[in-house]
């Protein structure tokens, strides 16, 4: 029987990719990630009222693109990161912004044990919450929310070749660091990256019937001795630039 880290054993699945998407909603968690993407795609600020969330829009090739980010917290003056903010902002945006496809792009932790390096690119095949520990039948699957994303294997392989990327499990949690149990979970299930929004976005896309694709760039190595927050801050600009470089080719692949 497939494990809960195996896409074949996912409890939920998103709609398949549309044959000819024309409107893409691109979710990015942090302004440091969003700004280079906006520059790369030539997107301009949009006045759409979405509370503290920021929207930039424009056209790239045949696609109309809306770039959505949760924005800055008025109290702390930092990005509103994490799965709760991600889910709330995307759910609100999907009520206001027409789209055929949701794309999540951003940074994430990777794994030295998987041979990864800083600024490597990962395409998500599936996602789940690695910090959902509910020892009750049925409730465990709901809390873990293991979801197969929309791209099929042939499409993932084509995109991976175009982007020099790897394909696999992207695991979501509410913390930047990882516990010993979580490290064992990642190793057991061969996770390729760990981040803080994708599984929440997948849940919202499932509720709204929207397909979802995700691309992550590696800022830190979760199973390395260096503290994650130090590596993350040192590599954020470099990896965000690499993600921005990959977005145009990814959208081209999705539009063909």
Of 194, 204, 229, 230, the residue nearest 107 (C-alpha): 194
pLDDT of residue 2: 34
Q: Is pLDDT at 185 greater than 70 in this prediction?
A: yes
CA dihedral 71, 75, 80, 83 (to 10 degrees): -140
Contact 50, 80 (CB under 8 A): no
pLDDT of residue 158: 96
Encode pLDDT of 81-124 as tens digits: 999 999 999 999 999 999 999 999 999 999 999 999 999 999 99
DSSP per-residue letters across the chain: ---TTSGGG-SEEPPPPPSS--EEEEE-S-HHHHHHHHHHHT-EE-----TT-EEEEEEETTEEEEEEE--B-TTT-SB--SHHHHHHHHHHHHTTS--SEEEEEEEEEE-GGGT--TT-EEEEEEEEETT----STTHHHHHH--EE-S--HHHHHHHHHHHT-EEEEEEE-S-SS--HHHHHHHHHHT--EEESSHHHHHHHHHHHT--EEEEEEEEEETTSSS-HHHHHHHHHHHHHHHHHHHHHHHHHHHH-
4 falls in which pLDDT band (50, 70, 90)?
A: very low
Encode pLDDT of 120-165 as tens digits: 999 999 999 999 999 999 999 999 999 999 999 999 999 999 999 9
pLDDT of residue 47: 85
pLDDT of residue 7: 75
Q: What is the pLDDT averaged over residues 204-222? A: 97
Higher pLDDT pick, 224 / 256 = 224
What does the mean pLDDT of the chain come to? 94
Percent of the chain's residues with pLDDT above 90? 92
The span from the CA of 33 to the CA of 196, in Å, is 14
Range 37-40, long-range pairs (CB < 8 A, 24+ positions): 37/67, 37/105, 37/240, 37/243, 37/244, 37/247, 38/67, 39/244, 40/244, 40/245, 40/247, 40/248
The span from the CA of 139 to the CA of 135, in Å, is 8
The span from the CA of 240 to the CA of 223, in Å, is 21
The span from the CA of 39 to the CA of 35, in Å, is 6
Q: Is pLDDT at 70 greater than 70 in this prediction?
A: yes
pLDDT of residue 246: 98
C-alpha dihedral sign at 146, 148, 150, 156: positive
49 falls in which pLDDT band (50, 70, 90)?
A: confident
pLDDT of residue 3: 38
Contact 168, 192 (CB under 8 A): yes
Q: Which domains does the chain have, with CATH numbers?
A: 7-11+20-255 (3.40.50.1580)
């Amino acid at each position: 029987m497939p494990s809960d880290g195996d896409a074949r054993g996912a409890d939920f699945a998103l709609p398949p990719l549309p044959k000819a998407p024309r409107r893409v909603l691109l979710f990015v968690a942090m302004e440091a990630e969003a700004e280079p993407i906006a520059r790369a795609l030539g997107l301009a600020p949009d006045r759409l009222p979405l509370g503290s969330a920021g929207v930039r829009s424009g056209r790239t090739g045949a696609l109309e693109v809306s770039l959505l980010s949760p924005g800055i917290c008025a109290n702390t003056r930092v990005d509103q990161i994490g799965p709760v903010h991600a889910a709330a902002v995307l759910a609100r945006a999907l009520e206001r912004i027409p789209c055929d496809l949701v794309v999540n792009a951003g940074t994430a932790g990777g794994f030295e044990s998987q041979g990864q390096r800083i600024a490597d690119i990962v395409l998500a095949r599936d996602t789940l919450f690695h910090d959902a520990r509910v020892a009750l039948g049925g409730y465990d699957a709901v809390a873990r929310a293991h979801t197969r994303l929309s791209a099929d294997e042939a499409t993932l392989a084509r995109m991976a070749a175009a982007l020099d990327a790897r394909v696999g499990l992207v695991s979501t949690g509410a913390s930047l660091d990882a516990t010993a149990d979580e490290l064992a979970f990642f190793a057991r299930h061969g996770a390729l990256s760990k981040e803080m929004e994708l599984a929440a976005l997948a849940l919202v896309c499932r509720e709204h019937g929207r397909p979802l694709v995700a691309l992550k760039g590696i800022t830190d190595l979760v199973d390395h001795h260096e503290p994650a927050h130090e590596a993350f801050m040192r590599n954020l600009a470099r990896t965000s630039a690499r993600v921005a470089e990959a977005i145009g080719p990814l959208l081209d692949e999705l539009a063909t």
